[in-house]
Structure 1
Amino acid sequence: MVDTDTTSPRTRYRTQVRTEIKEHAWEQIATAGASALSLNAIAKQMGMSGPALYRYFASRDELITELIRDAYRSLADTFRAASEPGPDHAALAHALRGWALDDPQRYFLIYGTPVPGYHAPDDITAIASEIMTTLLDACAALPADGPATPFDAHLEGHRQWAAGHPAPPAILHRALTFWTRLHGVLSLELAGHFTGMGFDAALLFTAEVDDLGQPPARGRDGSAGISV
């Protein structure tokens, strides 16, 4: 019989052990990456047998799922807190950077190279959609865009990722631009690619955020131009 009383000693002990397992998992990920995660190695570190540890996480994928779920929930909570005063793309951007710098391995687990053979369950997709919905709300509050682009027209029929958000294609386009540009800067910064280049990565990030807050320039053919 499963003990559903969250205050019982058995439940508290189980929660404590699961938390310790996840802490060791993060240490492994920091050292060798998520693809090298080993439950048997964690069991050895904790002085447990492999079968004993499998009572807490039935497989490596179940443990990875829990880590990814925790990471997405943490970011969703961060976005929710940043949005409490109202939709603000700059507040979200800087909250994202702060969250990423606070724990780069957590960031790379969900936005880095996918773990080979791993497929996330639907509930994780739902949390990721919540994050994107918050971003779409913030982008919808920005100044109106100019003429539609070919990509805007494409998004009209390819908006499943927006999880039913009613934003028009131009806002979908802006949200994707926000997401790809800022993750590009963050990924390069966290991977150390700016080291030795001599500039302030925080100022580069802020410049990108400021630029994303402006209506994009449009070319004669309706394509997005380059803001200068």
Structure 2
Amino acid sequence: MAAEARSPRARYREQNRAEIKAAALQQLAEGGVQAVALTRIAKEMGLSGPALYRYFAGRDDLLGELIRDAYDEAAQAVERVDGASDDGRATLHALADAYRGWAVAQPHRYLLIQGTPVPGYAAPPDTLLRARAVLGPFLKVFAEGDATEALRPVVGEMDAWVRRDADVAGWVAQHTGPAPHDAAAGTALAGTVLTWSQLHGTVGLEVSGQYAGMGHRAQTLLAAQLDILADSFQL
């Protein structure tokens, strides 16, 4: 059965919401989170302040939508890589490169979700699920690994996390199989969290301009870090 056609009013509302978000992203790119102002957006669009609040309940509501969109697009970037190769090391590099490519192309959106928290702002509860969607493909890579002795304490803590948190266990199983044995679950989570730490350390410094004037390229540094991780998990 064909999807029910949207009414002109629904299409108009969707279009206005998209234009408001586009204007907010422009403000974000120009001046960071603090530059996002609903009154200025309303003026640019020829709307009254109260009219704008028919589309978003407030600034936090608008920021929540931008955060959801950013996580969703980052997840799409890495999901396009997932399963592209049977070589775990090559897949790890491809996933990280895809995420870095998204972040470098849209640094304002990267910093919105991974930069300094906005004072007084609480992210929507579903943000956690979207963040996990970005990291999910990495779990599959590391589930095939075997951590070296130096990483056993990390794997042990991750294994304990899986045991006590059913939501985390379900998320890991979604990407590693219906019932991964304890070692695979702990190893998968350990590798993913370590990659996340390395990835955001390098990408965060790059997009915020901290590497400017230094004698290396961020992608060269990241590639070396990923190879060290791959060696540590015997990928």
TM range, smaller chain: 0.7 to 0.9
Please state whether the residue corresponding to 2:231 is helix, strand or coil: coil
Confirm or deny that 1:106 pairs with 2:109. yes
Instruction: Indicate the structure with greater helix content.
Output: 2
Equivalent residue runs for 1:28-107 within 5 Å: 28-86=27-85, 88-107=91-110
Instruction: Report the counterpart of residue 196 of structure 1 in structure 2.
Output: 213
- Paired residues in the alignment total 213
Question: What does the per-residue CA deviation read over 1:122-153, in whole Å, with 9 as the maximum and x for residues that have no partner?
Answer: 32221222222222112223x42223632332
Contact 1:133-1:162 within 8 A present in 2 as well: no
RMSD between superposed Cα atoms in Å: 2.2
Partner-residue secondary structure (3-state), 1:203: helix
Within-5 A mapping of 1:1-228? 7-86=6-85, 88-141=91-144, 143-147=145-149, 149-159=152-162, 160=165, 162=168, 164=170, 165=172, 166=180, 167-215=184-232
Pairwise CA distance, 1:36 = 4.1
Unpaired runs of 5+ residues, structure 1, are: 218-228
- 1:226 maps to which residue? none
State the SS of the aligned residue for 1:158.
helix
Output the CA distance in 2 between the equivalents of 1:138 and 1:150: 20
More off after superposition, 206-215 vs 156-165:
156-165
Residue pair 2:20, 2:41 contacting (<8 A) in 1 also: yes
Q: TM-score, normalised by structure 2?
A: 0.82
99-108 or 169-178, which moves further after superposition?
Answer: 169-178
Structure 1 residue 30: Cα displacement = 2.0
1:26 aligned partner, one-letter code: L
Superposed CA deviations along residues 58-109 of structure 1, whole A, max 9, x for unmatched, are 1111101110110111111111111142562111111011111110111111
Name whichever of 34-43 and 178-187 sits farther off: 34-43
What do residues 184-211 of structure 1 show as CA deviations (whole Å, max 9, x unaligned)? 0001111111111132222222222222
CA distance in 1, matches of 2:105, 2:30: 17
Identity fraction in percent:
42
